[in-house]
Amino acid sequence: MRHGLWKAGGQGRICAAMIEAHDSLAFMKMHGLGNDFVVLDARARAIEVTPALARALGDRHRGVGFDQLALIEARGTGDAHLTFYNADGSTSAACGNATRCIADFLMRESGALALTLTTDRGALPARRVEGGAVSVNMGPPQLDWAEVPLAEAMDTLELPIEGAPTATGMGNPHCTFFVEDAEALPLETFGPRYEHHPLYPERTNVQVAQIVGEDHIRMRVWERGVGVTLASGSSSCATAVAAARRGLTGRRVRIDLDGGTLEIDWREDGVWMTGGTAHVFDGVLTPAWLGLNA
């Protein structure tokens, strides 16, 4: 292959430990409300992502930079299978905004108005809604302590932590604090303190949420393995579920994040999330960079 572009129909595997001199790797950059992603399309040619490669790609100075890396594969029972990596190289079973972005991309590609994506969270139906936004069903919330998971049996509605946060699983763990003023907390120090709390053996995403009205929440997010993010889809779902369980809101709410607004609707079939997406640009990782960072 020449000039760094590999054939879409090739059957080889790009192995992070065995990058050949003339292999390069195409990627897409997307975001949902500023929650940004690098997306690798492995439907035509398998791509092996190692923690080291994910960390290198996530470096905003020496790589591309992202909150999450998403890998699209042609496997599973749906239209495609998604695997997610955090900026620190760890994996996550769910990423709501990335799921919406990729659903938008695949629907534009095929002309379909609905599809189903599989993840380690399960099968997630997605559809185009009025105005062009994308809505995805993130599945039923996990409310039992063992599903979140927590380290020991307890009521997930109010944890024995200062501030009495609520624990919710959305394929990844969440810890939601309801506060008077979401802007006032120093999230840069508050978030990591609870991401690593002993009650969360797999660490946790941390949200600070301010109730504005019975159908309106202001929320800020610290993401596990990432840090402060402008938005988080799974965090928005978890916060909406926690607020409804505590009687603070109804089951359908608008959540204002630093990067924009998501609509969350907790229905019998799962938690539906709706909002805008952006496919920003396409790029190619050079063989030299891959050789150094595989």
Could you give all domains of the chain from N- to C-terminal order, each with its CATH number? 25-137+277-293 (3.10.310.10), 166-268 (3.10.310.10)
The predicted-structure confidence for 62-78, as pLDDT tens digits, reads as follows 999 999 999 999 998 99
Distance of CA 262 to the CA centre of its chain: 14
From 15, 95, 101, 237, the catalytic residue? 95
Q: CB–CB of 294/52 below 8 Å?
A: yes
What is the per-residue pLDDT for 4? 33
Tokens of 175: 């810890």
The DSSP-derived string for 53-87 is: HHHHHH-TTTS---SEEEEEES-SSSSEEEEEEET
Which residue spans within 87-178 are E strands per DSSP? 91-92, 114-119, 122-128, 134-137, 166-169, 173-178
Catalytic annotation present for 95: yes
| End-to-end C-alpha distance for the chain, whole angstroms | 19
What is the per-residue pLDDT for 76? 87
Residue 223 annotated in ligand binding: yes
The predicted-structure confidence for 184-200, as pLDDT tens digits, reads as follows 999 999 999 999 999 99
Residue 293 annotated in ligand binding: no
Q: CB–CB of 81/120 below 8 Å?
A: no
Residue 92 annotated in ligand binding: no
- 220: nearest Cα among 270, 256, 180, 263: 256
Residue 234 annotated in ligand binding: yes
Residue 109 annotated in ligand binding: no
Low-confidence ranges of the chain (pLDDT < 50): 1-12, 14, 16-22
Distance of CA 167 to the CA centre of its chain: 18
